[in-house]
Amino acid sequence: MHDRKNQTCIRVVLADDHAVVRAGIRQFLERGGHIQVIAEASDGMEACALIAKQSPDVAIFDLQMPVRSGIEAARWVRANHPSVGVLVLTAYDDEPFVQAALKAGANGYVLKTAEPDEIVQAVEEVFQGKAVLDAALAQRLIVNIAKLPDHPVEHLTGRELEILTLTGRGLTNKAIGLSLHISDRTVQNHLAHIFQKLQAASRTEAVMRAVALGLLPSDLATPTLGV
């Protein structure tokens, strides 16, 4: 989510209600030296407090946690700390959970059965502002996520379509800005308007809705989804 030019380390808050699981995840995340787990939480409420205090780059949430679930925590982060990337790392592969997490504003959803290197890559891509969805879930979700909004969609401008197309190609906000000769903040503002018009809560949902509406080519139906 952050385009910090000189940043060499991705700062992570890790939340899971099992200490042994946290220890294992922390070990392989920090193995490469470019990811640092700056704080750990055993429930969603504690995680949100740590995020408010530490301002991490990425928050990793288990789905089912005491006090506040991963979905509730993702919703809180998106409302209060929109620059923090949210990755849900869970054992639950049920479609309603995935859709709920994406609607809450999670940037990624990866299963704990993924290889350690895949989870590390997911953290990197969420940090870069990309949408990440476990490859085993992607195809199952395309049809449901792409369902049309309940109300008519407001017209997208040419610039908004350009930005959404580049988003679907996997470009970060910084890369989109460089390509279109506009600032990162301008890209972010355009994406906010796009989300509102398409009634979408995430980059993935917005691209899939646009494909379903015929606004974007069908080859963008799986934007930056494969982990």
Q: Do 15 and 107 belong together in one domain?
A: yes
Question: Of 61, 119, 68, whose CA–CA distance to 90 is shortest?
Answer: 61
178 located within any domain: yes
Q: Which of 83, 104, 130 is a domain's end point?
A: 130
91 located within any domain: yes
Q: Do 87 and 198 belong together in one domain?
A: no
138 located within any domain: no
User: 45 φ, ψ to 5°?
Assistant: -65, -45
Q: Do 23 and 119 belong together in one domain?
A: yes
226 located within any domain: no
Q: Do 25 and 112 belong together in one domain?
A: yes
Give the count of beta carbons closer than 10 Å to the beta carbon of residue 147: 12
Q: Do 40 and 99 belong together in one domain?
A: yes
- State the pLDDT at residue 34: 93
Instruction: Report which secondary-structure segment, H or E, holds 180.
Output: helix 173-180
Output the DSSP codes for 31-62. Answer: TTSSEEEEEEESSHHHHHHHHHHH--SEEEE-
Q: What CATH code is carried by the domain that includes residue 74?
A: 3.40.50.2300
27 located within any domain: yes
- State the pLDDT at residue 24: 95
48 located within any domain: yes
Q: Do 167 and 118 belong together in one domain?
A: no
Q: Which of 100, 130, 160 is a domain's end point?
A: 130
Q: Do 25 and 119 belong together in one domain?
A: yes
Q: Do 208 and 151 belong together in one domain?
A: yes
- State the pLDDT at residue 224: 47
- State the pLDDT at residue 8: 74
For the chain, 227 residues long, give each residue's pLDDT as a single digit of tens: 444 444 679 999 999 999 999 999 999 999 988 999 999 999 999 999 999 999 999 999 999 898 889 999 999 999 999 889 999 999 988 877 887 888 888 989 999 988 999 999 999 999 988 888 877 777 666 656 656 666 667 889 999 999 999 988 878 888 899 999 999 899 999 999 999 998 887 787 788 788 777 888 766 555 444 33
2 located within any domain: no
Exposed/middle/buried for 150, CB within 10 Å: 0-12, 13-18, 19+? exposed
225 located within any domain: no
Domain span at residue 39?
10-130
**Total domains, the chain:** 2
CA gyration radius, the chain: 17
Q: Which of 130, 153, 174 is a domain's end point?
A: 130
Q: Do 105 and 206 belong together in one domain?
A: no
Q: What is the pLDDT of residues 84-134, one digit of tens each?
A: 999 999 998 887 788 788 888 898 999 998 899 999 999 999 998 888 887
Q: Do 16 and 105 belong together in one domain?
A: yes
